[in-house]
Amino acid sequence: MPLSNIYNIYRTMEEENVLLSFKGIVTSELLTTVLNIMENKMHTLHESPVKQKKVFNVLVECLQNLYHHVDPNMGDLTASRADLEKQSAIVLVVRDANQFIIRTGNYIENRKVSKLKERLNTINSMNSEQLKCFYQERLNISTVSSKGTAGLGMIDIARKSGNKLDFEFLEINDQTSFFCLNVKID
Amino acid sequence: MENLELTASAKTPEVIFNRENGMLRLKGRSIPENSIEFYKPLYDWVDNYSSSPNQETTIEVMLEYFNTSSSKCLLDLFKKLERLNGGSSNVNVHWYFEEDDEDMAEAGEDYQAIIKLPFKMIEIKEI
């Protein structure tokens, strides 16, 4: 990689108004640190407490989605580079003129794409009142998996952000796609 | 039976469950990746408490944030208290939320819609 690429990456992030970024495997410790940094940043930006909480909440859910996506058996040193990359994700927190945007990207197996797509489309078809009912219904009947997931994350993200979820699945090969999610918080 | 007291951490709330006065308090943030590990001892305590509860039981939920993993665990905690209510103890929920925090107020309404316990919504300046 030519050294000037460092500047190119920097410029891209600057132009995109990136406040915070991370690429790699999302661990529990990393989550704690990122949330801590983000909280301090918002504090210094003098955002309203309401906005700070919304951003924090949505970021927690987004990061924990990425965290749960990591296969606990795959993070060891014997894993191949390709296997490790599949565990890896990207998170960008962007601050535009008047809104925060959280962008995430992670690999997903192709066979899981249609189910997730369907779920996101269902969520996007709902207004805030419908989302509220849907959340309550899911909350009441869902069970927490051994990993600690309750299947409520995306509904909560949509509800708190107050916006539709922008997403895209990029097919990488016949087994894997890259899932891009863009969440705007007014 | 002993009281349950846990100090707050970066991802878990302070817990003070008092046997003598029936005051059960959760305060701070509840955002662990796997909330079951955290809530299991709380369930055990409530099960134990339910065998000889105080006449009045009040759960004070003073959370600044909680994640969806915790939201399900909170519901299960409320369900335990719902079963306790009306028998040997009168159970009340005090749901605190910070000024203008509509999301947290709505979260309280979500539980109110599901759980048959009297909820008191309390708006305060800062948790």
DSSP code, position B13: -
Instruction: List, for residues B77-116, the tens digit of each pLDDT value.
Output: 999 999 999 888 999 999 999 999 999 999 999 999 999 9
The boundaries of the domain holding residue B34 are 4-124
**C-alpha to C-alpha distance for B44 and B2, rounded to whole angstroms:** 12
Check whether A75 has a pLDDT greater than 60.
no
**Number of domain units in chain B:** 1
Check whether A77 has a pLDDT greater than 70.
no
Give the pair of three-digit tokens for residue A122.
């269902």
Q: Which of A32, A33, A39, A53 to mutate to test the interface with B (most CBs of B within 10 A)?
A: A53
The boundaries of the domain holding residue A102 are 4-185
Check whether B27 has a pLDDT greater than 90.
yes
Q: Residue B65 belongs to a domain with what CATH number?
A: 3.30.750.24
The residue-averaged pLDDT of A12-40 equals: 94
The sign of the torsion formed by the CA atoms of A60, A165, A54, B82 equals negative
User: Are B92 and B121 spatial neighbours (Cβ–Cβ below 8 Å)?
Assistant: no
Whole-number pLDDT of residue A184 = 97
Give the pair of three-digit tokens for residue A39.
């909280």
Instruction: List, for residues B28-37, the tens digit of each pLDDT value.
Output: 999 999 899 9
Whole-number pLDDT of residue A139 = 93
C-alpha count within 13 angstroms, C-beta hemisphere, residue B43:
14
Give the pair of three-digit tokens for residue A26.
């999302």
Whole-number pLDDT of residue B1 = 80
**C-alpha to C-alpha distance for B91 and B70, rounded to whole angstroms:** 21
DSSP strand pairing (A89-95 vs A100-109): antiparallel
Per-residue pLDDT band for B44 (boundaries 50, 70, 90) equals very high
**C-alpha to C-alpha distance for A70 and A26, rounded to whole angstroms:** 7
A chain contacts of residue B33, beta-carbon cutoff 8 Å: 28, 31, 64, 67-68, 148
Measured between CB atoms, does A56 come within 8 Å of chain B?
yes
The residue-averaged pLDDT of A100-121 equals: 95
B69 CB contacts (<8 Å, ≥6 apart)? A64, A144, A148, A149, A150, B32, B33, B34, B35, B36
Contact between chains at A56 and B65 (C-beta distance less than 8 A) = yes
User: Are B106 and A132 spatial neighbours (Cβ–Cβ below 8 Å)?
Assistant: yes
**Number of domain units in chain A:** 1
**C-alpha to C-alpha distance for B108 and A2, rounded to whole angstroms:** 54
Where are the strands (E) in B47-118, listed by range? 56-66, 90-98
A chain contacts of residue B32, beta-carbon cutoff 8 Å: 148
Sheet of A18-24, strands arranged across? A18-24, A89-95, A100-109, A176-185, A166-171
Letter for the amino acid at A78?
T
